[in-house]
Amino acid sequence: MNVTTERLIIRRFNYEDWPAVLEYTSNQTVMNYIPEGIQDEAAVKRFVEKNIGDEAGNFPVVLKDDGTLIGHIVFHRYFGEHTFEIGWVFNPRFYHRGYASEAALAIQPENVPSHRLMEKIGMRREGHFQKCIPHGDEWWDEYYYAILREEWNSREAKE
Over the chain, what HEC string results?
CCEECCCEEECCCCHHHHHHHHHHHCCHHHHCCCCCCCCCHHHHHHHHHHCCCCCCCEEEEEECCCCCEEEEEEEEECCCCCCEEEEEEECHHHCCCCHHHHHHHHCCCCCHHHHHHHHHCCCEEEEEEEEEEEECCEEEEEEEEECCHHHHHHHHHHC
pLDDT recorded at residue 154:
83
Contacts 24+ apart (CB under 8 A), 131-138: 133/35, 135/35, 135/37
pLDDT recorded at residue 66:
97
pLDDT recorded at residue 34:
85
pLDDT recorded at residue 18:
98
pLDDT recorded at residue 36:
86
For the chain, the structural domain boundaries read 3-158
pLDDT recorded at residue 159:
61
Q: What kind of fold does domain 3-158 have according to CATH? A: Aminopeptidase (3.40.630)
Tell me which residues of the chain have a pLDDT lower than 70.
Answer: 77-84, 108-116, 133, 135, 140, 156-159
pLDDT recorded at residue 93:
96
